Structure 1
Amino acid sequence: KDNVNIEKPIEYQLLYDWLGKGLLINDNSNLWRERRKLLTPAFHHKILDQFVPIFNKNTDILLDRLRESTAKDCVNICDLVFPAALDIITETGMGMKINAQQNENLDYIQAIQDMGRILHLRMFNPLLRINWLFKRTQLGRQYDRNLNVSHTLTRRVIRERKQYIIDSRDREGSHTGADIDGHKRGKRLAFLDLLLGQHLSDNRLSLEDIREEVDTFMFAGHDTTAICLSWTLYFIGLHPEVQRLIHDELDRVLVANRDVTYDDIKELRYLESTLKESMRLRPPVPAIIRALTHDLQLGNYIVPAGVSLYLMIDTLHVDPTVYPDPLAFRPERFLDEAECAGRHPFSYVPFSAGIRNCIGQKFALNELKIV
């Protein structure tokens, strides 16, 4: 609730090689504030509106793959949802189509997935957390090879996109790059375009700064979304009455069998409550960590400065004093205004909270609803 203890602790250093000083793990509060201010326009509602056709298109491909899977006795939904989320995040983030759903053997896709697996192993192995030791293991060498694949592609796309914007500027006049009004000129702007627009206008963001933020957007935006989609589909499958209510709402809002629009998203209230209930029971990020720079009073206890404080979101979300019958899947929790009004605003934090909350949460909710 305050703006004091907002530093990220050393636990996040496992991601430094990949994400650098990106917004997610930046441990310098002053630099973080500057970056956050620079990046906020990239999540303006005018920009988010432009991404809706990308969400629709890639969801159509996912639906085709789901139909092809109906003949199987058992389907691992994660194997279908993760490539779809990756296609969406690369096209909205970098303006690049990698077609992960049609070709899951691409080097970049394999590298991203492999790095995620290795990071998971490092988190739970104290020896692998020691960087110089990790670098001398087979896993460390494998991680570095994957890192090279990822960074090489991101830097190449940034260089090419920068040149494209410069060439377009030379053809069309003195405009220096991309901004939130770019859609008025008939252009769909990727997250990268907006960062390059700032780079070309005042150079406050270097190309390496942009690489860090693009990789952060990719890292934070595809895995978490895919996890939420997978769990939500699981819960809907377990609760046919919820599935029926979602279906009724979709029939009411989407009168014809058409693509979802930005205006439609606002009307899908029961679907949104279902997604929220899914994230309550299975938050895509089950814990966040803060490094205390000042002593913190917690009830009768004082947590001293200098320690890492783990905030267990998955435990918070099943507190019976906040959520009656906490393990039951009941989307109506988020529709009952009286029930919602009685909750502490920080009792539900799937996107974190406070000034270091997730900058892309509206983007994520729009994507989740449409898919």
Structure 2
Amino acid sequence: MEPSWLETRWARPFYLAFVFCLALVLLQAIKLHLRRQRLLRDLRCFPAPPTHWLYGHHKLLQDDEIEKLSEIIEKYPCAFPRWVGPFQAFLYIYDPDYAKILLSRTDPKSQFPNQFLSPCIGQGLLNLDGPKWFQHRHLLTPGFHLNILKPYAEVMVHSVSTLLDKWEAMLITQHTTVEVFEHINLMTLDVLLKCAFTQDTNCQINSSTDPYVKALFEFNKIIFHRTQSFLGHHDIIFNLSSEGQCFQELSQVLHHYTEKIIQDRKKSLQDERKRDNTQERKYQDFLDVVLSAQAEHGDIFSDTDLSAEVNTFVVAGQDTTAAGISWLLYCLALNPEHQQRCREEIRGLLGDKPSTIWDHLEEMPYTTMCIQEALRLLPPVPSISRELNKPLTFPDGRVLPAGMNVILSIWGLHHNPAIWENPKVFNPLRFSPENSDQRHPYAFLPFSAGPRNCIGQKFAMIQLKVSMALILLRFEVTPDPTRPPILSPQIVLRSKNGIHLFVKKIP
């Protein structure tokens, strides 16, 4: 029986559409197959742990990732490929010679996870590449000179004192358990807002009422959740989700806050110039530095660049510094003999005059070694990544092609038993002058190295020393054995259940 005219007319487009879609699916399948074969070929000289054809190494490293990574480092020297599903792989490296080769180059940072931050903070030093990154780095480096940083020590003393007053008010019993990361995170934000904008938000006391502080903390939570979710890595899926819509709203709050401060500061400076009455504040904040850079180089440093760099200073500095201080405090809680030795050293220098701490920052050798050992044992930034823009040849002759993503596992480097004896043991004497002189210069990289090292590392070290000195003068800390931290190595090394310590006031 002949098909009717209607059946023929309407069936043909559906058949054509079906064939077209099938062809697209087959084409995509071929592309993915070729991509997998290329990755297998490029990584064939790097042995890897057994991988699942679909999940890659996800199940292997899903639980206790840190512990599993330790086992892999011992079994596979220098590097191993980590598969994320069947069609994506990264080369993890944790050897100092490998790190030196990688960090001496100018390859761009990998898109993951910095692409998640860009909509909020803009294109600053954290996620720029190429000539523009070099321009910004050159313009902003003077802002981290010691003469600029010196007045910040007084700001830090004030903010840390606020934190310690809070803890003292919480001491209902002789020993009170405190989730220290939350409190220290607010303290570091307080410091950064004062040093970036000369803004005293009182966020350590009123964190739930200030719109900027609330938005920043919600933003950090969303970024953390997004890195954990495979579907959240896709912009379209994320933007359509409730978290994605909330992220857009939070970005607007943060942008408007920063923009208003910048415009108000510009207007204030213009008014002062008109009256020929320029008032000097107590210190030059980071906004002054970037405004000065814009005034001299406005052709290459726009208002958008200015806003991005100020946002980057606050967002990138907050969690990392808070993690560094919190993990250091945890290490000293676990090792009371080192805690007491640091306390005695600091007490001998400062007595009851913490305001003089700037003059003694270079006179704390044992405290500095403890800080360095904590940064080795629990690095705040556990890994950094690069996307190769040209082939890379490692010292042992193994080669990677352009386009490959390489992840330098700072945590793996700092726990590599080929470099560090008993790497899980907290031993500050590793950083004594005689031991440090014998170590590979790329074996300890808490602030990275090479041309893209952390521009704020001096600022971070000052804050670590100031915070630790003031805390140890007033409190003794011990671990809470019922709630040990569960490490979660994301953009910043966190604990899934917080960092709980017993805090006791020193008489």
Structure 1 pair 186/100, CA: closer, same or farther in 2 (3 Å)?
Answer: closer
Which of residues 18, 24, 42 in structure 1 aligns to 2:120? 18
Is the contact between residue 260 and residue 370 of structure 1 (CA under 8 Å) also seen in structure 2? no
1:195 aligns with 2:290: yes
Residue 126 of structure 2 aligns with an amino acid whose one-letter code is: L
Residue 6 of structure 1 aligns with an amino acid whose one-letter code is: D
Which of residues 338, 361, 365 in structure 1 aligns to 2:434? 338
Shift of 1:238: 1.2
Q: Following the alignment from structure 1 to structure 2, what is the Cα–Cα distance between the partners of residues 33 and 7?
A: 12
Q: Following the alignment from structure 1 to structure 2, what is the Cα–Cα distance between the partners of residues 236 and 215?
A: 32
Greater mean deviation of Cα atoms: 197-206 or 144-153: 197-206
Which of residues 206, 210, 220 in structure 2 aligns to 1:103? 206
Q: Which residue of 2 aligns with 1:178?
A: none
Is the contact between residue 83 and residue 101 of structure 1 (CA under 8 Å) also seen in structure 2? yes
Is the contact between residue 140 and residue 293 of structure 2 (CA under 8 Å) also seen in structure 1? no
Is the contact between residue 106 and residue 451 of structure 2 (CA under 8 Å) also seen in structure 1? no
Residue 251 of structure 2 aligns with an amino acid whose one-letter code is: L
Q: Following the alignment from structure 1 to structure 2, what is the Cα–Cα distance between the partners of residues 101 and 47?
A: 25
Q: Which residue of 2 aligns with 1:76?
A: 179
Q: Following the alignment from structure 1 to structure 2, what is the Cα–Cα distance between the partners of residues 63 and 255?
A: 17
Shift of 1:10: 1.8
Q: Which residue of 2 aligns with 1:62?
A: 163
Structure 1 pair 256/142, CA: closer, same or farther in 2 (3 Å)?
Answer: same
Shift of 1:16: 1.3
Residue 246 of structure 1 aligns with an amino acid whose one-letter code is: C
Which of residues 408, 424, 430 in structure 2 aligns to 1:327? 424
Residue 195 of structure 2 aligns with an amino acid whose one-letter code is: T
Shift of 1:80: 1.3
Shift of 1:155: 0.6
Structure 2 counterpart SS, 1:168? helix
Q: Following the alignment from structure 1 to structure 2, what is the Cα–Cα distance between the partners of residues 172 and 32?
A: 36
TM-score by length of 2: 0.69
Q: Which residue of 1 aligns with 2:46?
A: none
1:150 aligns with 2:246: no
Q: Following the alignment from structure 1 to structure 2, what is the Cα–Cα distance between the partners of residues 154 and 332?
A: 43
Q: Deviations over 1:262-305 (max 9, x none)?
A: 22111112111111111111111100001101111122421111
Is the contact between residue 193 and residue 314 of structure 2 (CA under 8 Å) also seen in structure 1? yes
Cα RMSD over matched residues? 1.7
Shift of 1:35: 0.5
Greater mean deviation of Cα atoms: 252-261 or 157-166: 252-261
Q: Following the alignment from structure 2 to structure 1, what is the Cα–Cα distance between the partners of residues 295 and 185?
A: 34
Shift of 1:4: 3.1
Q: Following the alignment from structure 1 to structure 2, what is the Cα–Cα distance between the partners of residues 264 and 357?
A: 26
1:304 aligns with 2:401: yes
Q: Following the alignment from structure 1 to structure 2, what is the Cα–Cα distance between the partners of residues 70 and 256?
A: 22
Is the contact between residue 56 and residue 260 of structure 1 (CA under 8 Å) also seen in structure 2? no
Structure 1 pair 154/300, CA: closer, same or farther in 2 (3 Å)?
Answer: same
Q: Deviations over 1:19-64 (max 9, x none)?
A: 22100111x3111001100101111111000111101111110110
Which of residues 184, 196, 216 in structure 2 aligns to 1:93? 196
How many residues were matched structurally?
360
Shift of 1:117: 1.4
Greater mean deviation of Cα atoms: 214-223 or 113-122: 113-122
Shift of 1:69: 2.3
Structure 1, unpaired ranges of 5+? 176-181
Is the contact between residue 386 and residue 405 of structure 2 (CA under 8 Å) also seen in structure 1? yes
Which of residues 452, 459, 464 in structure 2 aligns to 1:363? 459
Shift of 1:74: 2.0
Shift of 1:349: 0.6
Residue 151 of structure 1 aligns with an amino acid whose one-letter code is: H
Residue 333 of structure 2 aligns with an amino acid whose one-letter code is: G
Q: Which residue of 2 aligns with 1:242?
A: 338
Residue 103 of structure 1 aligns with an amino acid whose one-letter code is: N
Residue 202 of structure 2 aligns with an amino acid whose one-letter code is: N
Counting only pairs closer than 5 Å after superposition, residues 282-321 of structure 1 correspond to structure 2 as 282-298=378-394, 299-321=396-418
Shift of 1:254: 1.0
Structure 1 pair 171/334, CA: closer, same or farther in 2 (3 Å)?
Answer: farther
Is the contact between residue 9 and residue 290 of structure 1 (CA under 8 Å) also seen in structure 2? yes
Shift of 1:212: 0.2
Percentage of identical aligned residues: 32
Residue 329 of structure 1 aligns with an amino acid whose one-letter code is: F
Residue 22 of structure 1 aligns with an amino acid whose one-letter code is: G
Residue 81 of structure 1 aligns with an amino acid whose one-letter code is: I
Is the contact between residue 5 and residue 294 of structure 1 (CA under 8 Å) also seen in structure 2? no
Shift of 1:186: 6.1
Structure 2, unpaired ranges of 5+? 1-99, 468-507
Q: Following the alignment from structure 2 to structure 1, what is the Cα–Cα distance between the partners of residues 221 and 214?
A: 11
1:213 aligns with 2:315: no
Q: Which residue of 2 aligns with 1:179?
A: none
Greater mean deviation of Cα atoms: 218-227 or 62-71: 62-71
More strand by share: 2
